[in-house]
Amino acid sequence: MAGLNKVVSNYEEALAGISDNMLLMVGGFGLCGIPEGLIQKVCDTGVKGLTCISNNAGVDGFGLGKLLEKRQIKTMIGSYVGENKLFEELFLSGEMEVILTPQGTLAEKIRATGAGIPAFYTATGYGTKIAEGKETKKFGDRFYVLEEAYPKADFSLVKAHIADTQGNLIFNKTANNFNQVIATAGKITVAEVEKIVPAGELDPDQIHVPGIYVNRVIQGKFEKRIEKRTVRSN
């Protein structure tokens, strides 16, 4: 009986059931807080035709950039995707579809997905290209755009600092970013973490993602590459 124990022992098990043309949501902001090992495993499985929802698309050779290299992504949905050259090529040649979405709208759409809210109104993007073809409505003296939630992801891949064996998650600093909402929006949510502790060891007051949202937990190994290392001169 596995009971509520979510811990899996290898990446094979962590991504069991992944196949072509699936919808994936992947946590992280730039290279901060990305599930590095899970992305590598998606790359190794060679699944293709993926739709990826992620704020960014990694850099050349790292993060989701790895999936771009192997042409595994058919559609990329994010708010800022241009930190790598290959992305540019795939985008301009039309080989990959790109749906740019304002960052707050992206986060809220994912949150709505996890919370069972089919759509919501937001002022973001009213009067811009983003609102073209979408329903708008006036509330008070302002116009708002109707934005729909996404379907639940086949796999939500997130990175957390600490998990307990039941899948309760705690993030570290700004490595939380999109991970918290993406964890709620998967049919199968897999958390790759720096440390796993026995259930009962985490302070219930400090948990960011309750274990109900998390299906699998795997101990990861992280390079934690820094995109823009900026230091002050003394």
Partner 1 sequence: MALTKEQMAQRMARELKDGYYVNLGIGIPTLVANYVPKDIEIMLQSENGLLGMGEFPSEDQVDADLINAGKQTVTTSTGASFFDSSTSFAMIRGGHVDLTILGAFEIDQKGNIASWMIPGKLVKGMGGAMDLVAGAENIIVAMTHANKHGESKILKECTLPLTGVNCVKKVVTDLAVMELVDGKFHLLERAPGVSVDEIKEKTQADLVINDNVIEIQI
In the complex, which residues of this chain contact partner 1 (CB under 8 A)?
29-33, 55, 78-82, 88, 91-92, 100, 102-108, 110-111, 122-130, 161, 171-181, 208, 224-232, 234
Based on the number of CB atoms within 10 Å of its own CB, is 138 exposed (0-12), middle (13-18) or buried (19 or more)?
exposed
Nearer CB in complex with partner 1: 21/172: 172
Instruction: Name beta bridge partners: 191.
Output: 158, 217
Nearer CB in complex with partner 1: 108/154: 108
Residue with tokens 């600490």: 162
**DSSP 8-state assignment for residue 79:** S
78-88 burial, b at 16+ Cβ within 10 Å, e below that, comes to bbebebbebbe
CB of 218 to partner 1, least distance (A): 19
Nearer CB in complex with partner 1: 47/178: 178
CB of 165 to partner 1, least distance (A): 23
CB of 96 to partner 1, least distance (A): 13
CA of residue 172 relative to chain centroid, distance: 16
Nearer CB in complex with partner 1: 89/201: 89
CB of 98 to partner 1, least distance (A): 8
CB of 211 to partner 1, least distance (A): 17
What whole-number distance in Å separates Cα of residue 52 and Cα of residue 22? 9
Angle (CA) 129-135-136 rounded to 5° is: 85
Nearer CB in complex with partner 1: 72/177: 177
What tokens does 221 get? 């190994």
